[in-house]
Structure 1
Amino acid sequence: MSAAVCVLILSALWGHTVVSGDLSRPTKVRLTSHDMNLVLSWDLPAEPAGLLYTTEYRSSVINYRAGCVNISTLECDFTRHSIPQTIYQFGKYTARVRAHSGTETSAWVESNNVAMDKETNISSPIISLLSNGAAIEVIIQDPVFRISSLRQVYSSATYNITYWQDSQKQKTRSISNIQQSRVVLSDLEPWTKYCVKVQISTGRISNNLSQPSADVCESTTIDKEVPWVAAVVTFITMAIAVALVVVAVVYRKRISHLLCPKDSLPQHFKEDLMVRPNSSMYIAMCNSHPSEEIFHQVSIIPDSSIIEAERPLEAEPPHTTQT
């Protein structure tokens, strides 16, 4: 009788929920992290009919907190349902889950421990290729993290780039420890199709690598221009421009004197310019008189009808009536 009383008292205290050893517990409970999320998953108990589940999580510095409550799915994402700012990218976490059926509840089942920054699985980067003559530019985009970002968690992260001709995948070439998100592959053959794959290295001692990206292919076109040609042409152009400016500054007086001379003309040049021409045509033009203009005088006589029409009307005298 005393045992039954204790069960009833516990039932009242815990909201009529009874922990029963007969209710099957969830199995294969596991805690994982993918791109800085924190997900607890489990398999169905031996008797799965009509069960609901409640989850909790804790870190090395905080006690258990509520996660998903009374759910029917077999997974709980704590980074989606937890209290804000309670899960950190450098934290170490443990979780647990129990099943419910009516007023009965199974025992808690704890998961493994997960250190977020050391054990999270990193998705593959997204890459795109841009053909530029006989070179190909690789543009890399980091995966999106649920908490923080790739560079904030892994400040020493680098890219490993592997590339090959489309028909010769067994002859791959690679470059490692690249920090730039835009890389130019210049040692390529013109008019050739190349494929590229990129993987992220976190730079940690454990050498945590991301998933490799999908193979992306692009073709080169014309042969690349010799890089020093453009530099030489630019240098010569600038040197000529600087030389012209220096010459103009140093010899500005001579240049001004050449363009605008101050010397007067010799006297015999002035006398020759002032001599009256002896041309017969010029003499005839100077001695000629203006030709007399012939004209007839014209008188304009206005029409009388127009005059009458334009004359103002005179006021008629008023009529008087005799009585």
Structure 2
Amino acid sequence: MTVEQETAEANNNEKIENTENDVPRVLSSYRSHGLLRCMTFIDGSWLYHNQDMLVKAYAAPYKIDFSKINAVALKRLRQHMVNTLDTDPPALDLVRTYYYASVPWNVHPDDALKLEDQRKFYMLLSESLGFELILHEIDFRGHYMAMQDRITREGDPNFLPKERTIDMALGINMLYLAAIDAYDIAIAVLGDADYQPALDRVRQLGKRVMIFTIGGSAAYEYLYPKATARFSDFPVVRFQDHLEDLRLAHRVEREKVLYSYACARCGKLFESTYKAAPKQNMYCDEHRIWRDRAGNGNFAPPREAITGMQDELSALSVNSNVTNDQV
């Protein structure tokens, strides 16, 4: 072998060694900074079809605020680590959130508005929340989207749209990203038992899994795992335990701001949604009725006091008349 060939072979071996060391170097940098990478996988179709369970638990109309799911999950992860680790828990880095759902097409013309609302919802998830959308089309063959409409309007309860690719897509993607070491902890928002093989393989690859599910709509094995068949490394998180934290507030509630004031009459502290102008006097409920309606800062006595004063004046007038007659 010539000198040139030996040099070329040595360079090739060095390149191979550097390539093999790329991944460990990246992992060591994460470990040295104390970061645990998290990815969230949401079965949107399952979540949509089981929201009635949350309405029942809340005993009132209920919608999920998807911007709060990750916050609740990460908070539970931190709490568990604080309670179980002897040292300070590592920081959690939310790398990505995947949302898997179906997109109806070829639906009845009357459902055009529903399709538009669904499109706006997906745009909100993607553009405002930064979710990665994995959407699969479902052919409704000209039927209504809702089962109740198909029964009452079409008289056809037998048609059922096929929605079988969501489970497979989520499971494969979760397993693939675990295999290429893209995350350390998978936050799995799901409930179907079909995910058990994928969750098992993800854990075999050394990844940790947190299951975020709806009680009453989750596989029994998720809620009550056996020692020989575990699918989660953390306590299972139930939506029912965080209903208020995950509730989508009405626009009026979100925009409602309370301002604190001290009553200019008695000094009592109170709150109001009214934003006062600078140096404007504010009054509590008890003394608000005393204000002069002309707005000059004087106080008018309450109606009861006025009535009492009128009665006293009437009595004095009667006594005065009697005295004059006697004279």
Bigger relative CO (Cα 8 Å, ≥ 6 apart): 2
Tell me which protein shows more strand as a share of its residues: 1
- Relative to the length of structure 2, the TM-score reads 0.24
- Relative to the length of structure 1, the TM-score reads 0.24
Task: State the structure with more CA Rg.
Answer: 1
Tell me which protein shows more helix as a share of its residues: 2
